[in-house]
Amino acid sequence: MTTSPYPILIILVPLMTSFLIPLVGWWRRSLCYPLILAALTVSAFSSLIILQMVMEQGTIHYHLGNWDPPWGIEYVFDHLNAFVAVIVSLTSLLIGISSKSLVERSFSKKAAFFYCLFLLQATGLLGIVVTGDAFNLYVFLEIASLAGYTLIAIGDDGAPFASFNYMLYGTVGACFYLLGVGYLYIVTGSLNMADLAKLLPPLYQSKPVLIAFAFFIVGVAIKMALFPLHVWLPDAYTYAPSAVSALIAPLTTKVGVYVAIRIMYTIFTPSFVKEFSSATTLLSWVSIFAILFGCIWALAQTDLKRMFAYVLVAEIGYLALGIGLANRNGLTGTVLHIMNDTMMMASLFLVAGAVVTKTGFRRIDQWSGLHKKMPLTMAVFVVTALSVIGIPPMCGFFSKWYLLLGAINARQWVAAAVLLGSSLVNAILFFRVIEVIYFRRPAEFPNQDRVQHEGFEEAPWSLLIPMLLFAAGIVSLGLLSGKIVSGIIQFAIPEGL
């Protein structure tokens, strides 16, 4: 057990600040933005320190209120969640920076409430990552989801209705998770994840445990929008305000994937997963269909944000495939892809947000010739697009490489073929957009209201800096991915896999 304050600061600072912000905003509205940045910086800084501590001395346990587990709640940091916590906190800090121009433009009067919810969302996501208690995870899951529903509903057009549908799905998902916790509590009488992992192995054959596993996986699959349960995602992320979709789209789904890894490989051990291999086989088949479906539906879209949403559905397929392969390479690919995909999706949704706030254009054909007006934004888009396709120096290539190795190790030839084929579809998908941006003239689209992008008018700096940082991250962390795997991720893979 550790006595250093950083584990609790990750959660406590953004949580307390989020309640402070409406009060401060009532007094001075302009203070809200610096305040959330300060809170998120503290959180990101603490998570970086913890990652360093974990790399030096292994797993850290923090007992809340000095109650010993399994009675009290503990926060546990191992290599997996220290890594994910760094990703989540840094991404929410960068998205926080980018939210300035959007908030000033569309609802400056209610900025305080927006930032309050924004911080609550970040707190919820971080809380899911750091907690070592199954029920505590449910509470954080609902904090993140409730903040997400309200944030999405701020958007225009179909946003409230999309958010309502998301809420129905999300509630069912969370309830299934809670039922899973309940069934495990019946047979073990414990809620602590490490304690459950110790108590469960003799009970693997019992029916309540199997039912709990099924409820867990289906509930989490709804939360992370795995293919047949993804229905809420495209609408919700298309209509959400740009800063919101840039926060929620990359992080909520990735945190869902993290929860799936925790359940399958921490609460249930790799030996359980091997014993009931039909579950992982099913998961990998479902994710193969998710990849195919996401790519093909993305091809059919004309609205860019909606296209990105379907790309995200396919990416979740990749992540779930790595879990379903249940071998070392596959899981390494998933954990690496959690980082890469967070950066790629945040960058894509930020680009879409920058263009929409600057010009109001959402359809692909309206983006023609946009590189003259917003060269930097479009350069970021190209870098991200190359990464999503999986072209070597970008980070997207490396995680797909590990996933491919995992698929070959598991002798899942269909999965390997789909991984390669989906890269081709992604290439078609993104080169089509790149062609429209750089090489088409607006006049080639006769039915359009003539769209001319005259003059240089870049997105505001508050939006541009996070975008450029994400693009730099996509290239540099791609080059460093060997170091990341050997330094962090290889210790995050559970023993016996």
Partner 1 sequence: MKIKEKGLPLEWIVSKYNYWIYIFLMMIGFYAMIGKKNLVKKVIGMNIFQTSIILYFISIGSKKGSTIPIAEHAAGGPIQAIQYINPVPHVLMLTAIVVMVSTFGVAMALLIMIYRRYQTIEEDEILRLRR
Residues lying near partner 1 in the complex (CB under 8 A) are found at: 135, 138-139, 142, 146, 149-150, 153, 158, 160-161, 163-164, 167-168, 171-172, 174-175, 178-179, 182, 185-186, 191
**C-beta closer to partner 1: residue 64 or 175:** 175
Task: Indicate the SS3 state at residue 225.
Answer: coil
Beta carbon of residue 60, minimum distance to partner 1 (angstroms, whole number): 25
Secondary structure element (H or E) that encloses residue 44, with its range: helix 32-57
Q: Is the peptide bond before 201 cis (omega within 30 degrees of 0)?
A: no
**C-beta closer to partner 1: residue 60 or 117:** 117
CA angle at 401 for the pair 396 and 406, rounded to the nearest 5°: 130
Spatial distance between the Cα atoms of 427 and 46, rounded to a whole number of angstroms: 38
β-pair partners for 62: 75
Q: Which pairing describes strands 60-63 and 74-77: parallel, antiparallel, or unpaired?
A: antiparallel
Those residues whose C-beta lies under 8 Å from the C-beta of residue 192, and which sit 6 or more positions away, are 69, 70, 74, 132, 133, 134
Task: Indicate the SS3 state at residue 105.
Answer: helix
Any idea what DSSP says for residue 411? T
The answer to whether 121 touches 247, Cβ cutoff 8 Å, is: yes
**C-beta closer to partner 1: residue 158 or 460:** 158
**Beta-sheet strands, E only, within 379-434:** none
**Beta-sheet strands, E only, within 26-159:** 60-63, 74-77
Beta carbon of residue 359, minimum distance to partner 1 (angstroms, whole number): 24
What contacts 24+ positions apart, CB below 8 Å, involve 65-72? 69/132, 69/133, 69/192, 69/194, 69/195, 70/190, 70/191, 70/192, 70/195
Beta carbon of residue 175, minimum distance to partner 1 (angstroms, whole number): 5
Beta carbon of residue 170, minimum distance to partner 1 (angstroms, whole number): 9
Which pair of structure tokens corresponds to residue 123? 């707190």
**C-beta closer to partner 1: residue 174 or 314:** 174
Beta carbon of residue 247, minimum distance to partner 1 (angstroms, whole number): 18
Beta carbon of residue 195, minimum distance to partner 1 (angstroms, whole number): 13
The answer to whether 400 touches 334, Cβ cutoff 8 Å, is: no
Beta carbon of residue 117, minimum distance to partner 1 (angstroms, whole number): 11
Spatial distance between the Cα atoms of 369 and 371, rounded to a whole number of angstroms: 5
Beta carbon of residue 20, minimum distance to partner 1 (angstroms, whole number): 20
Beta carbon of residue 31, minimum distance to partner 1 (angstroms, whole number): 26
